[in-house]
Chain A
Amino acid sequence: MSRHSVPALLRANSQADRVVPPSGFTARLTVFSAGAMAFLAVFAMALSFATGRLADRWSQELARTATVRISAPEGQLAAQTAAVLAVLETTPGVAAARALDEAEERALLEPWFGPDLPLDALPIPQLVEIIESAEGFDAEGLRLRLQAEAPGAVLDDHTRWREPLVGAAERIRMLGLLAITLIAATTAAMVSLAANSALAANGQVIRVLRLVGARDSYIARAFVRRFTLRALAGATAGTLLGAIAIALIPKAQTADGFLTGLGFQGAEWLWLLILPPAAATAAFFATRLAAFRSLRKLS
């Protein structure tokens, strides 16, 4: 195996190369296909990274805070609020808890109801903001204790509406990875087809080589080397073009923009470096398999 590994193949062996006549058309098709697939893979990768970042940001920003909403008849509101704060103070994982004052609640509601909201005249629930500590609290346990101490208190830890968003982002990311896998498989399939056509077109060459005592591995190497190098060249060009296209997407200011976030950040760019060798490896194994399968059929 070691003699037929990818790096060993890349070392020049001009004689083994020359025994198979050059085939311009299949060669160009292979280079083109590998290039197109690498180009697509760049976008699938960018998609995966962008959704991954989005999911991370959503879960981080929302995980840190929670809210307790207390709705109670006028007279009990203050007492229940005090009870809630007392419970929170003794809850592990709660770093700080604070009841919002009237001005803050007004500020929260203003965008929806306008500045002239008669807050006193409405049964506005009291809001208590919770800042979690790093380890977080047990939401279910807290919910039960609040129910016992303050029946009008409802804990909203944001997981309920955060989870579907993060789930959707994770799903899109999985689809991106699936797309990359499919692209790799398609590259291998296309190289197989091209290799098979080259093997069929060179039946006479293969027969002569067998007759003069060439082993299957020698004959296969002539084909494998070619297709591996073609896939490498095509994928390198495709990756480069894909990277340029991604880099040229106009950047908008909004941090949350999903479309404008499509791309690579910092070290993520380095992942693109695996595309050309990955294509070459796929081509190597696809051609090897095709070559040995068709050689075994000959005498």
Chain B
Amino acid sequence: MIRLDNVTYGYGATELLSGISVHLQPGSFHFLTGPSGSGKTTLLRLCYSDLTPTSGQVTLFERDAKTLSRDDVARMRRRIGVVHQDCQFLDHLPIAENVALPLATAGRRDEASDLAELLAWVGLSDRAQALPPELSGGERQRAALARAVIMSPDVLIADEPTGNVDWEMSLRLLNLLVELNKMGKTILIATHDLNLIRAAKAQVSARVLRIRDRQIQLAGADL
């Protein structure tokens, strides 16, 4: 699905990530962890072609990311749902329209019938007409998750999806993600929360990738 081969990236002259190789198999469940500022968000952005690697190759759905046109990238992003760390909404539109935005931009507005169901799934039915700035942090993250899955993507990438919520809500969000994984979606979650990883490991066979010293390591049983 998503494959990074010997990828190096740096925002300026200094390398943030070097020689990274990761392969996300269809249906797999990965966690990405590491200290703040180690490059988790950066790595995720490489995975949905928001950033282009300095060197190395990113392969998305069997295609070299370098060969994708701008429209190809747009189409590809409909197959990869993303929950961004800072959520990224259109602040002048109500939550319901924000969640349905991927459908609207893809010209598939007629499929918005599942919208109410989806909002109920993330517990936002009564906040559907609120504007994004009027929501709590946790509500925003749940709305972002709903938007990420509305196109029923093959891959779901979530950047700190439980960063702003209490433990109970974290578990609820985790359950949503596990449910999606059981439906066959490939999941990649960046998080600091080791308890969340432990809770997930009890339900699915999740692998844990850790960024350390600009490299990626497969974390063992030490969790």
Q: Judging by beta carbons under 8 Å apart, are A21 and B51 in contact?
A: no
- State which size class the interface on A falls in: 20 to 34
Given A18-B93, A21-B92, A205-B90, is A212 in contact with B71 using a C-beta cutoff of 8 Å? no
Closest beta carbon of chain A to B191's beta carbon, Å: 20
Closest beta carbon of chain A to B129's beta carbon, Å: 14
Given A18-B97, A19-B90, A299-B51, is A211 in contact with B82 using a C-beta cutoff of 8 Å? yes
Does A15 make an interface contact (CB < 8 A)?
yes
Which of these, A21, A214, A296, contacts B74 with CB under 8 Å?
A: A214
Does A209 make an interface contact (CB < 8 A)?
yes
Q: Judging by beta carbons under 8 Å apart, are A213 and B106 in contact?
A: yes
Given A208-B89, A209-B105, A299-B50, is A216 in contact with B77 using a C-beta cutoff of 8 Å? no
Number of interface residues of B (CB under 8 A): 27
Residues of B contacting A205 in the complex (Cβ-Cβ under 8 angstroms)? 90
Does B95 make an interface contact (CB < 8 A)?
no
Residues of B contacting A295 in the complex (Cβ-Cβ under 8 angstroms)? 70
In this complex, what residue of B is CB-closest to A292? B70
A211-234 vs B, CB cutoff 8 Å, 1 = contact: the mask equals 111111010000000000000000
Give A258 to B102 CA distance when docked, in angstroms.
62
Q: Judging by beta carbons under 8 Å apart, are A213 and B88 in contact?
A: no
Which of these, A15, A16, A213, contacts B102 with CB under 8 Å?
A: A213
Does B188 make an interface contact (CB < 8 A)?
no
Q: Which of B23-69 contact A (CB under 8 A)?
A: 49-52
Does A210 make an interface contact (CB < 8 A)?
yes
Which 8 pairs between the two chains have the least Cβ-Cβ distance? A214-B105, A213-B77, A213-B78, A21-B92, A215-B74, A212-B102, A15-B104, A208-B88
Pairs across A and B, CB under 8 Å, 26 listed: A15-B104, A15-B109, A16-B104, A18-B93, A19-B93, A208-B89, A208-B90, A208-B101, A209-B90, A209-B105, A210-B74, A211-B77, A211-B82, A211-B84, A211-B88, A212-B102, A212-B147, A213-B74, A213-B75, A213-B76, A213-B78, A214-B74, A215-B71, A295-B70, A299-B50, A299-B52
